[in-house]
Structures are given as structure tokens and as C-alpha cells.
Amino acid sequence: MPKKTIEEKYARAEKLIKSDKWKSWCHAVGIKPTLQPALGEEPDYGNLKGRNRYFRINASGEFDCSQPLELFDRWANSTGITIRFLPASFKEFKNVIEFMLANSELATWAKERSYATRAEVNNTRETQ
């Protein structure tokens, strides 16, 4: 299977974050858009906040979780963990959020950022 380009990954991410299922998943796990939209505009479900963290879909179409809010400076310095895939189901989304929360405090600077694959997330959930 050919590797997806960054543009393809981001296009898929844009489609997902505008879907009703993504919005319902976010609300179900207690995360919401960071900013209130202007009157008549849709909220941005690509930049989220909740459970003492910021979450975002980055420009590469990957899912980021910040360090705890009290340590957050800006994304360049405060990315705790990056998931290199987007969840395909609510169960996987919930597992990813729990994995991110458990592992996002490990990095203190962007150069120490943690990355995780689908296999790592699923393997961790099975052993707990």
C-alpha cells in the first residue's frame, strides 16, 4: 500500500473534523473547541481543549495532545504526544484520548515529543 502524502492525510483530517461523528466523539470524552466561533460560523473542531490538555489536528493530518495546561507555552514547545493516525471509530477515539492523557507528560520540549502508531495505542489498551 503506497504511503499517503501529507496533503492526502490533511484532506482526510479536514473531512473528519467537520463530520457530526467527530463532534459527538469530542463531546462524549469531554473535549470541546478552544474558541467560541463568531456569530454564524461553525466551531473549529481541529483545535480542542479539555481534560487539562489542548488537542489539535496538525498541518500533517496527525492528532496532537499537549502537556498539561499549566505547562503549556505554545505548540512548538508543549506538544506532549502525536498520534500518527486519526481514529476510525468511537472506541478507537476513546482509546487514543486515554493513551494521550497517560503519555503526554513524558515530553518536556518539542525535541522530546513522543509519537505513537495505531499498534502502540491498541497494544497498550490490551495490556491494561
124 CB-side CA count, 13 A: 16
pLDDT, tens digit, for every residue of 28-44? 999 999 987 778 888 88
Residue ranges making up the domain that contains 54: 6-33+46-127
Neighbours of 12 (CB within 10 A): 14
pLDDT, tens digit, for every residue of 10-31? 888 889 999 999 999 999 999 9
DSSP letter (8 states) at residue 18: T
* Average pLDDT score over the chain: 84
Contact yes or no for 96/53 (Cβ under 8 A): no
Contact yes or no for 43/67 (Cβ under 8 A): no
d(CA 84, CA 11): 15
* In a domain? residue 1: no
Greater pLDDT, 45 or 104: 45
Structure pTM? 0.80
* In a domain? residue 38: no
The cell for 19 is 463530520
* In a domain? residue 74: yes
* In a domain? residue 82: yes
Of 44, 38, 36, nearest to 13 by C-alpha is 44
Q: What is the pLDDT of residue 119?
A: 74
Greater pLDDT, 109 or 3: 3
* In a domain? residue 105: yes
* In a domain? residue 80: yes
* In a domain? residue 70: yes
* In a domain? residue 116: yes
Compute CA 78 distance to the chain's CA centroid, rounded to the nearest angstrom: 13
DSSP letter (8 states) at residue 31: -
Total domains in the chain come to: 1
